[in-house]
Structure 1
Amino acid sequence: MIYSLLGKIAEKTLDRVVVVCGGVGYEVHVPASVSAVLPPVGAEAQLYTYMNITENDISLFGFADVESRRTFLMLTGVSGVGPKAGLAILSVLTPDRIALAISAGDHKAFTAASGVGPKLAQRIVLELKDKVGKGLAEGGITLSEVAGAAAASPQGTAAAIAALTSLGYSQSEAALAIAKLDASLPVEELVRGALQAMAGRLK
């Protein structure tokens, strides 16, 4: 099994790169988010990979870090989620956002990915909730915190969550960040504090 590649980029498009290692060029399928952060053609790069073997095909899928690779394997372990759907999800959501969306039951976050409909999105949340919950607990976040945050209803916090989702954050991620703050603060301060918190968490 090829775990990672370190070499020069010979070709690069939105969804694939060719990495030359020891004179051999490896074609690697990647999420759009990975292609965007890779260096230009001719530069050296490292990708963490997963080799998918079927009766008719052998393909390599590449990721910028170990966490993204682990998330891809977790997603493709769900019935109906193939490698293409896994890449599509990671093209629009970071591993942190995926974990928070699953924990909060926010299946709509996954429908932003190409080829992922409501039924498949619900299945992802249902099948992975326990698994993701254990991972969040290890990081000091409980499922009750996430669920409570997602259900936040005070007017100020609801407005702040709406503002954050308009900026591109998922509802579950925004709700969790707001829940860590004083709900009596003005909406502007809630949004500012949540943005600072999420910027630190997603680095």
Structure 2
Amino acid sequence: MIDCLTGKILKKTPDTVVISCGGIGFAVQVPAATGGSLPAPGREATLYTVMNVTENDVSLYGFATEDQRACFKMLTAVTGVGPKAGLAILSVMTPEKVALAASSGDHKAFTKASGVGPKLAQRITLELKDKVGKGLASGTGFASGADVPAPAGAPAQAVAALVSLGYNTSDAAQAVARIDEDLPVQEIIKIALRSLSRT
């Protein structure tokens, strides 16, 4: 398995990057967020990869961070979510937003991704809700450890804090998901507490 590629970017489009490593140009499919964050052609970059081998195809999928790659693996483990849908979801959502949407049961957030309809979005939240919720509640992100990302940003810390105050994970995640993720943790917690006290 190819874990990561480090080399010079030869060509870059919003959904594909060709990266030269050891004289070989690897064509790697990437989510739009990754394509936009990589340097211009001619500069060096590292992509964390997942290789998908089927009867008729061998494809490489690349990500700017290990969190994105782990989130992709988690998403594609859901029944009905293939690599194309996984890339589409990560093109419109960060791993942390995936975690918050899944744990709060917000299936509509997943329908913003191209090719993800309401039924598939509901399946994603159903299959990931408990797995993601336990990790957010403990402050580690996801329950199963190294195979999936562990969001450490302000929203994940706020959910963990609210759960430690006695709120259930789903309610805490729903309250936090409606708040600007760029705010400091303390501010997110204050706003979420106000929202939760009204319900």
Q: Is TM-score (shorter-chain normalized) higher than 0.5?
A: yes
Relative distance call for 1:133 and 1:12 in structure 2 (3 A) is same
Q: Do residues 78 (structure 1) and 78 (structure 2) align? A: yes
Relative distance call for 1:25 and 1:179 in structure 2 (3 A) is closer
Q: Is the 8 A contact 1:52 1:59 kept in 2?
A: yes
Moved over 4 A (4+): 175-179, 182-185
Report the counterpart of residue 8 of structure 1 in structure 2: 8
Q: Between the two proteins, what is the percent identity of the paired residues?
A: 59
Distance of 1:80 and 1:40 partners within structure 2: 34
Q: Structure 1 residue 134: deviation in Å? A: 2.5
Distance of 2:192 and 2:52 partners within structure 1: 47
Q: SS of 2:99's equivalent? A: helix
RMSD across aligned positions (CA): 2.3
TM-score normalised by the chain length of structure 1: 0.75
Q: Structure 1 residue 137: deviation in Å? A: 2.6
Q: Is the 8 A contact 1:51 1:61 kept in 2?
A: yes
Letter in 2 for 1:180: I
Q: Do residues 88 (structure 1) and 88 (structure 2) align? A: yes
Relative distance call for 1:48 and 1:173 in structure 2 (3 A) is farther
Distance of 1:52 and 1:99 partners within structure 2: 24
Distance of 1:65 and 1:115 partners within structure 2: 24
Q: SS of 1:180's equivalent? A: helix
Report the counterpart of residue 60 of structure 1 in structure 2: 60
Q: Which has the higher contact order (CA 8 A, sep 6+)?
A: 2
TM-score normalised by the chain length of structure 2: 0.77
Q: Is the 8 A contact 2:18 2:27 kept in 1?
A: yes
Which runs of 5 or more residues in structure 2 are unaligned?
140-156, 195-199
Report the counterpart of residue 172 of structure 1 in structure 2: 177
Report the counterpart of residue 125 of structure 2 in structure 1: 125
Q: How does 1:178-193 map to 2 (within 5 A)?
A: 180-181=189-190
Distance of 1:174 and 1:182 partners within structure 2: 8
Q: Is the 8 A contact 1:19 1:27 kept in 2?
A: yes
Q: Structure 1 residue 78: deviation in Å? A: 0.4
Q: Is the 8 A contact 1:9 1:19 kept in 2?
A: yes
Larger Rg: 1
Q: How many residues align?
A: 166
Relative distance call for 1:181 and 1:146 in structure 2 (3 A) is farther
Report the counterpart of residue 147 of structure 1 in structure 2: 171
Q: Is the 8 A contact 2:105 2:170 kept in 1?
A: no
